[in-house]
Structure 1
Amino acid sequence: MKEIQVYHVDAFTNEPFGGNPAGVVPDATQLTEDEMQKIARELNLSETAFLMTIEDKDVDFRVRFFTPTQEIDFCGHATLAAAWTMATEHGWLDRATSIHFKTNIGIVPIDFSKRGEELQSVIMTQATPQIKDIEADIETISKLVGISASELDPSYPIKLGSTGIWHLLIPVKTRKAIDEAIPNIDLLKDHNMTRGICTTHLFTFDSEEADWKLYTRDFAPAVGIAEDPVTGSANGALAGYLLLENILDKHTEHDFLIGQGEACGRPGQLHIKTSSNEHGPVIQVGGSAVCTIKGTVRLR
């Protein structure tokens, strides 16, 4: 009987049962793709990260991400959860100041931030952001996300954004409207699946919290997740969109917080840092995490 170590880690929070839970399998080297999918389905979390050893001097682990229904190319909160697990449960914090994962979208470096000997947060550098237009009228978008068309914010464009996977980014006037949104899950699933969109991400500058620059909410039925509590990839794509659309000055470094998860009872926050290099904007997304469950999965 093969026993596989697994962790349940709440990401983008420092409180148990907050943030976004992810599964982490630290040693998946001998697992088949079918076994990884079955473990992800058994854990029944939005995503599970599977780490595999790799002979590559530039990276520490190959990582694959599975929802309960399928593999996806990248997942921000599961990346954070995996880095946190390796740092705190597998001694990585004692040997290095960072860890590098090879994913389907490329290499993702993650830096550790300590206070004394204790890990305080980790921050990942995501793929270079991209945006593109989407053909959709306001009434259609309103019906998909369950928000009155009058509550959508015309000050900012509805766009697709990506730092590895595509998200539908929808500006909303108020946090209240976001919290009260009741998306048509079936319609949204069909809409996003036919267009290669991973999640639909609502955002507003009306955060109601002094420390938060933005407040967001995310729906991902196209990959088997009705609502994702706190989303690293979608908020990274949002940060890239803000720069590429000149909503934030792309030539200035930015450092701010985004709040998410309140509407589904799993509050969390993300630390966003932006800069630029010769390839364009650089998006970093970070936060803390809490390991709430540690155990083994038995495979025959």
Structure 2
Amino acid sequence: MPTSAPPASVPAATPRRRPFAQLDVFADRPQRGNPLAVVLEADGLSAEDMQRVARWTNLSETTFLLSPTDPGADYRVRIFTPTGELPFAGHPMLGTARAWLDAGGVPAGERIVQECAAGLIEVRRDGERLAFAAPPLLRSGPLDEDEVRRIAEALGLERADVLGHAWVDNGPGWRVIELGSAARVLALAPDRGRLDGLKVGVLGAHPGAEGPSSGNGREPVSEPRYEVRAFTTGGVEDPVTGSLHAGIAQWMLTRHPMPPRWSATQGAVLGRAGLVEITAEPSGTLWIGGATLPTIQGTILV
């Protein structure tokens, strides 16, 4: 009895070498900031391909540069963690822009315009530094009291230690609490398992930084205003977190008298030296910037 032939298998796409870069973001010395992997010329890769690469690099984020679908964008970027895709993230905005510029990218206008799942994000150049325009918050307002108590207990705090709290979600889902000092933030010893399922930022003021003026909007800020720590899903601590700083800046402007320019530090407990610079324009635009340092350049087989 004749049998039918098995269906022809679809051949897998042949891997090819694509330009690749790894950068340190929010630090001007190697191995002091938040690393980012960037795959350039990523057209033709599937979401599954991108997720596989992001799992392999095992960095907090890996980005993929694609042709734009919006005529107002210079390029499109997709952002993947080892476990999923993000609509927006901060240090990938700056690191991807630097990799694109270093590869010969030329913006159509005065500023670089990146297309991502959260929309069009502008990036401006200030000498060697880059800054992205903070996107609007998707969710704001105070946290539920039960959630505040859960976060405080997970961080080893009393409820009275929390001076303020809010949603500052611009895509990744950040919640934030404010403590009385940078020293208190640095001393936290969280029970990471109890933070599972939450993305929590914590900030506290550095000594002498509580006054209304830390910068005039033109000269560099000499002393950081805040210390920040960020705990992602599963309680993993992130070294330097641009999206969180963008949300915190929007919240701080409603909470305290703020100068037109200030900075914040992050990553000390992880052996990093992250520095994030915030500029608030009279128009309401907030720019979140810092140094970007290419550390690896070459190709990747995907």
- The normalised TM-score by structure 1 is 0.84
How well do the aligned residues superpose, as a CA RMSD in angstroms?
2.2
Change beyond 3 A, Cα 1:240–1:151: same
Q: Map of 1:115-194 to 2, 5 A cutoff?
A: 120-129=128-137, 131-137=140-146, 138-144=148-154, 146-149=155-158, 152-154=161-163, 157-190=164-197, 192=198
Would the alpha carbon gap of residues 151 and 269 (structure 1) be closer, same or farther in structure 2, given more than 3 Å must change?
farther
Asked if 1:293 corresponds to 2:296, the answer is yes
Classify 1:258/1:284 alpha carbon distance in 2 versus 1 (closer, same or farther; 3 Å): same
Q: Sequence identity, in percent?
A: 25
Runs of 4+ in 1 over 4 A off after TM superposition: 93-97, 207-210
Q: 2:241 aligns with which of 213, 231, 239?
A: 231
Give SS of 2:140's match. strand
Q: Which amino acid aligns with 1:211?
A: E
The Cα shift of 1:45 comes to 0.5
Who is 2:7 aligned against? none
Query: Which structure's CA Rg is the greater one?
Result: 2
Offset at residue 248 of structure 1 (A): 3.2
AA aligned to 1:294 is: Q
Structure-2 residue corresponding to 1:117:
none
Q: Tell me: CA distance 1:211–1:59, structure 2 relative to 1, closer, same or farther (3 Å).
A: same
Aligned residue in 2 for 1:263: 269
Instruction: Give the number of equivalent residue pairs.
Output: 274
**Contact kept? 1:188, 1:221, Cα under 8 Å:** yes
Aligned twin of 1:196: none
In structure 1, the residue matched to 2:33 is 19
Quick one: which amino acid aligns to residue 224 of structure 2? W
Deviations 1:107-126 (A, max 9, x none): 10101122xxxxx1011102
CA contact (8 A) 1:124 1:286 kept: yes
* Conservation of the 8 A alpha-carbon contact between 2:20 and 2:298: yes
- 1:36-58 deviation line (CA, Å, top 9, x unaligned): 00111111110011111024321
User: What's the CA shift for 1:95?
Assistant: 7.6
> For the residues of structure 2 that align with 1:57 and 1:173, how far apart are their CA atoms?
46
With normalisation by structure 2, the TM-score equals 0.83
AA aligned opposite 2:296: I
What runs of 5+ residues in structure 2 fail to find an aligned partner?
1-14, 210-221
Contact 2:74 2:107 in 1 (8 A): no
Partners of 1:72 and 1:57 in 2: CA distance: 22
Residue identity in the other structure for 1:287: G
Shift of 1:268: 1.1
Asked if structure 2 preserves the Cα contact closer than 8 Å seen for 1:8 and 1:22, the reply is yes
Q: Which runs of 5+ in 1 are unaligned?
A: 115-119, 193-198
Cα distance change on mapping 1:35 and 1:75 into 2, 3 Å:
same
Instruction: Look up the match of 2:218.
Output: none
Matched, 1:42 2:56: yes
2:49 counterpart SS class? helix
